[in-house]
A and B are shown apart, each in its own frame.
Chain A
Amino acid sequence: MEYFLELFLGGLTRGSIYALIALGYTMVYGIIELINFAHGEIYMIGAFTALIFASVFTLLGFNDLSILLLASLAAVTWASAYGYTIEKLAYKPLRKAPRLSALISAIGMSIFLQNYVLLAQTSDFLPFPRLIPHFSFMDPIVHVIGSAELVILITTAVVMIALTLLIKFTKLGKAMRATAQDRDMALLSGVNINKVISFTFIIGSFTAAVGGVLIASHIGMINFYIGFIAGIKAFTAAVLGGIGSVPGAVLGGMVLGWTESFATGYVSSDYEDVFAFSLLVLILIFRPEGILGRSTTQKV
């Protein structure tokens, strides 16, 4: 039973990270129906920015807590700036083009950003400072769940709730929902579409950067390639939960995290990804719109 609990919590932690990245995919998709392949790279750039600023502040002799706060602040600032710029450069000119063109543009952007960081920084793995402090009150249960895991779970929950409130109750949230439902109609009702889309990218990049900082300080190392695999998994999570749906992305992330964790724990880690993708195929066969996705009736 303890083993089950350990795997459950491990899956939950991993799932939280997937969920944080999946939010960006799902919101962007909800608004402009684009698979933003470069989103995983935003997560990577967020983690790199945090590493760079953390190192600089360490050398300047700041204390641990202020390093954590300043580095995280820098990470979300720059990640959001990258998200905003990418949309303006690579996707905005393509809004009226065939959907596949925007997808290729996204793939190109993803390859570009990976190599940009590779060339401007390094291809080696870099040690990431352990920004999350160790809580001594966690000691008795450290073999089940560590401090870093706890911080990840709490942060994810907070981000999730804040985002739901934002979408449900603010004017901007209303505009986002309107744009997602019918872009032309929203435009006619006086919604500034460009602003809404930019904002969606900024929020998505923000959550991805939060995920990037958390996981990097948890596992303690990063390189330019971490965004790719995390991005594909998070995208899977978003589709699993029903792309376009915020609670769906969270649920999808968790389901994917648990699947991988239990597959490793009870079967074999050789096939953890096979289990993850097979689950995806199975769910989509029986619920083609994902677990929480709305089924859309196609109009002619």
Chain B
Amino acid sequence: MIVELGHFALTLALALSLVQFILPLWGALANDEPLMNVAGPAALGTFAAVAFAFLALVHAYVTSDFSVLNVVENSHTLKPTLYKISGVWGNHEGSMLLWVFILALFAALVATARHTLPLRLRALTLSVQALIAAAFLLFLLVSSNPFTRVNPAPFEGQDLNPILQDIGLAIHPPLLYIGYVGISISFSFAAAALIEGRIDALWARAVRPWTLTAWVFLTLGIAMGSYWAYYELGWGGWWFWDPVENASFMPWLAATALLHSTVVMEKRDALKVWTILLAIVGFSLSLLGTFLVRSGVLTSVHTFATDPARGAFILGILVFFIGGAFALFAWRAPLLRHGGLFAPVSREGALVLNNLFLATACATVFIGTLYPLALESLTGEKISVGAPYFEATFLPIMLPLLFLIPIGQTLAWKRGELLGAAQRLMGAFALAIAAGLAVIAITEGGPVLAIVSIGLGFFIIFGAVSDTITRCWPKGAQLGVVWRRAVGLPRSAWGTTLAHAGVGVVVIGIAASAWSTEDITLVKPGGRVQVGPYSLRLDGVFPRAFGNYREEVARFMVSHHGRDIGALEASKRLYTTRGMPTTEAGIMTIGLGQLYVSLGDNEADGAIGLRAYWKPYVTLIWLGSIIMAAGGLLSLTDRRIRVGVPRRRIHVAAVPAE
């Protein structure tokens, strides 16, 4: 019964979203206030209906209702409850439902942000958002219904793909989805601005928290996915330039650019048309990623048969929204008034360069991902574009951008002074050079690029910190003044500092991979393997059973200079329902580095094959990402952009404009 109600709720949500699309749009065009006011309640209603449908599916999973096909195919009574819940979105239909759920959630949040948004902008934004929701609801109902029943119901389900039975599935997709769908809000705002034919600093201020929210979650989602791949795949890599990864990385690059261009628009009333374009491109890339992955165009003929109807449907949605948005852009953008002139050497000038580099980086990933496909369909020629291509093109674009971060942050708005900025950054630069030299001294050399990158990472961190210090600490000021200034500094300024420092941390983590060591070897019980500065002793291999899998565990004792520092277990699992093997890497975090052990085949003489790595400072890659996201969150709490709170302008005299 609940299942049928869930199905009904989806249909209801479709109807409501159509109402939410049509009436407010009509109201905005006819300048009819009551009609525009329909948007809010309709959005809340759509959200309630979709939330009910989502909970109905969760209920079916938790109670192992095997009369529902989706549950049969992806669940099992023995599965731990956490994975029963995360299994809801561990499949196509459920993941689409999650997508729509978050879409509706965001619309509901916009609907409640009544005080911060002008009525017409809110009505138009919610209208566009409703159209997106309607398209995906239709897709769910027509070709991906998660509530399809099966008769007779089997006694047991087929279990979830073991690789997905991981805490990663509970965290990663929701984070990433919030990011993707959050960009849809920026898209809807952009479309609304185009329909309305006006865009100003107020628009920028309204859209920024949403973009920032999307960006924070996208950052966390990608970092989490990267870490999941790292520990689950077992060969120690954390980024592969795989089309699926690129599909999530492109919207991130676009969102990062959008975040920065919105600041310019808010402060200087410039880059309007470009910002609108970025918002459209950002969500278009999200849709494109959805299509690429869903339709299977990027997988080879060796892959399974994807349902062509679904691929075609998503392609339809993609063409409709991207085509429609660009058509709207071409038609209406010339109406938008260009504003703001600015000097090239200024904060906004640096932000324009930031956008240039980010847009180029995004385009490079786009071209690298799609070029083989385009070339093959045009000429029949087959080429591969893999990690070496991206490393050769992406890095030369990113390095200057990274170097720009502290400089841009130090430049003043309107008219900056390069010399002054350079002087203020001297300290940070000197410290970064010292850090680079220290690395050379400690490691006795290493790849030049890695050492330069470490220096660069430190430059970004010190630059971010020194910028904050100069703002809080005028020469000869007393501590009380410094404290008042630090407190008076807007949270968004602290957020910027933190996020930029996070970038530096990530850069250092990536560069440090140049010093990781690997050993592929055979070891017998009692035998030792030396990896980097650590020694592993295989204490034994024993079987273990747990819920829906059995595993063979190899237990190692890790020691450093002859002193035992702890045990590490790596295992090979067999998930009984599906008869599928997986390897679970053994990971020990020591300081900021990780010892990583992955098991291979057993030999006849009792020895086991293993790959062991020592990865110094590898955790900085993910810690840095978390710091970046924390910076974004901190910035979100800035009272000037807090969502849904009536804004009061506070005059802070002592703080220079950021």
Q: Bound pair: A and B?
A: no
A-side interface residues toward B, CB under 8 Å? Answer: none
B-side interface residues toward A, CB under 8 Å? Answer: none
